[in-house]
Amino acid sequence: MLDNRNYQYPLDLSWTSIEFAQVISFFNRVEDFYETQVSRDELLAAYRVFKTVVPSKMQEKQLDRDFEKVSGYSTYRALQEAKRSERQTIKYKA
C-alpha cells in the first residue's frame, strides 16, 4: 500500500458529476477497508451503484488496475472479502 494520499482517482471524463461522485464514493469505501474498517453492506451498496456507472467488466478491471497503481488498494480484493465475510464490518488484514 502506498502511504501517499495525494493521488488522482482514475475517472472517465465522459461521466457526469453525479457519476464522478458515485465512483469516488466506491473508491472511498475501498480506502476505508484498507485504512480503518468499512461496513460490509456500505461497500457492497457502493459497488452496486458503481456498476450502474461502469457496467463493463473490462472497464471495471481497468479502473481497478489504475486505482491499485496510484493507491496500492485493490477494489477486487476488498470486494472478495466483503462477499466472503459474514461480519458487519470488515477491514484489511495483511
Residue 80 counted as domain residue: yes
Residue 39 counted as domain residue: yes
Report pLDDT for 3.
52
| C-alpha pair distances (Å), 88 with each of 69, 75, 81 | 28, 18, 12
Residue 1 counted as domain residue: no
The structural domain count of the chain equals: 1
Residue 30 counted as domain residue: yes
Residue 9 counted as domain residue: no
Angle at 3 between CA 64 and CA 36, to 5 degrees: 75
Residue 67 counted as domain residue: yes
Find the domain containing 67 and state its range. Answer: 17-90
CATH number, position 28: 1.10.220.80
| Strand extents, DSSP E, 1-94 | 38-39, 89-90
Q: How many CB atoms lie within 10 A of CB 46?
A: 23
pLDDT at position 94 over 90: no
- Under DSSP, the state recorded for 36 is S
pLDDT tens digits, residue range 31-86? 999 999 999 999 999 999 999 999 999 999 999 999 999 999 999 999 999 999 99
pTM greater than the 0.85 cutoff: yes
Reduce the DSSP state of residue 17 to 3 states and report it.
helix
